[in-house]
């Protein structure tokens, strides 16, 4: 199963919780107003678990996951 990852720019408040949980996928970058998604499609159960944790931990619920 692959998971498509995106971030809603209207919701993202740059709190960085996703980066702390899944640094291989999310990165805060100076000057950007939305967290940067390093990998827009992710495979593998371990990373999927982390992504679900990041999605549910995001204070503004800005992360969108779509399983293909």
Q: Which residues bind another protein (CB under 8 A)?
A: 10-11, 13-15, 17, 20-21, 52-53, 55-57, 59-61, 65
Tokens for 58? 């995001």
The residue among 11 and 39 lying less far from another protein, judged by its C-beta, is 11
Give the residues across from 38 on adjacent strands: none
Closest distance of CB 39 from another protein, Å: 19
Whether 37 and 25 have beta carbons less than 8 Å apart is answered as yes
The residue among 17 and 37 lying less far from another protein, judged by its C-beta, is 17
Whether 19 and 35 have beta carbons less than 8 Å apart is answered as yes
């Amino acid at each position: 199963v692959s998971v498509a990852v995106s971030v809603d720019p209207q919701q993202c408040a740059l709190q960085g919780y996703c980066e702390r949980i899944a640094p291989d996928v999310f990165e805060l970058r100076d000057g950007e107003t939305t967290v940067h998604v390093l990998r827009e499609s992710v495979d593998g159960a371990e990373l999927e678990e982390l992504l679900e944790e990041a999605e549910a931990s995001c204070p503004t619920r800005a992360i969108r996951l779509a399983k293909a």
